[in-house]
């Protein structure tokens, strides 16, 4: 009887663990939660954003906002304004421990302050995790998208990022 209960608990925890996105798991493993802030944009907010009018003609954005948002199920943004470097290392370590689930989108030389990881299923990206550490002020930002994304989504995201960086 005890073995059966223990097996059911283990199965339940493993199913629960698989359903979590990276940001949720990261918040769970970090004990100093008061230093971490997590904001979630869920499906209902995504629907509201999608119902907003798209960019006006002549706008410099060359991607369709509706397309972009339609690929997302949720977005979580985790920030740490203090101890960012330690949290960055902890996030990298958690991703490295889960290499069977998350793979780097492209290899990044060690010492770089940003990383992008994806979780794929049947050539679709189900989860995208972007880590960024601003070494000037020590602020960590983790952006975690879940949904049904493809490589064109990543290209559009990269274009938008480059424009923001200019």
Q: What are phi and psi of 4, to 5 degrees?
A: -65, -45
Q: 39-91 pLDDT, tens per residue?
A: 998 777 777 766 766 555 545 554 567 777 888 888 999 999 988 999 999 99
- Mean per-residue pLDDT of the chain: 77
Three-state SS for 83?
A: coil
Three-state SS for 16?
A: helix
Q: In Å, how far are 52, 53, 153 from 61, measured between CA atoms?
A: 16, 14, 14
**pLDDT reading at 145 higher than 80:** yes
**pLDDT reading at 161 higher than 90:** no
Q: What are phi and psi of 104, to 5 degrees?
A: -60, 140
Strands in 114-121's sheet, in edge-to-edge order, are: 36-41, 72-80, 139-149, 124-134, 114-121, 103-104
**pLDDT reading at 4 higher than 50:** no
Residue ranges of E strands in 4-161: 36-41, 72-80, 103-104, 114-121, 124-134, 139-149
pTM of the model: 0.74
Q: Say which residue, 4 or 132, is predicted with more confidence.
A: 132
What length does the chain have? Answer: 166
**Calpha distance 93→29 (Å, rounded):** 12
Q: In Å, how far are 23, 62, 82, 140 from 26, measured between CA atoms?
A: 5, 34, 16, 13
Q: 134-144 pLDDT, tens per residue?
A: 988 999 999 99
Give the range among 18-22, 25-29, 35-39, 158-162 with minimum mean pLDDT: 158-162
Q: In Å, how far are 39, 60, 149 from 65, measured between CA atoms?
A: 20, 12, 14
């Amino acid at each position: 009887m005890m073995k059966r209960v223990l097996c059911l608990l283990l199965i339940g925890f493993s199913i629960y663990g698989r359903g979590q996105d990276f940001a949720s798991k990261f918040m769970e493993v970090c004990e100093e939660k008061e230093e971490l802030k997590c904001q979630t944009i869920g499906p209902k907010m995504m629907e509201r954003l999608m119902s907003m009018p798209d960019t006006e003609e002549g706008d410099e954005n060359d991607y369709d906002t509706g397309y972009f948002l339609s690929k997302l199920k949720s977005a979580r943004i985790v920030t740490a304004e203090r101890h960012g470097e330690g949290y960055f290392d902890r996030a990298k370590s958690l991703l490295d421990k889960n290499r069977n689930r998350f793979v780097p989108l492209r290899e990044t030389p060690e010492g770089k302050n940003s990383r992008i990881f994806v979780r794929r299923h049947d050539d679709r990206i189900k989860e995208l995790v972007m880590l960024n550490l601003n070494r000037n002020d020590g602020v960590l930002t983790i952006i975690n998208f879940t949904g049904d994304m493809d490589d064109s989504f990543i290209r559009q995201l990269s274009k938008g990022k480059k424009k923001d960086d200019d």
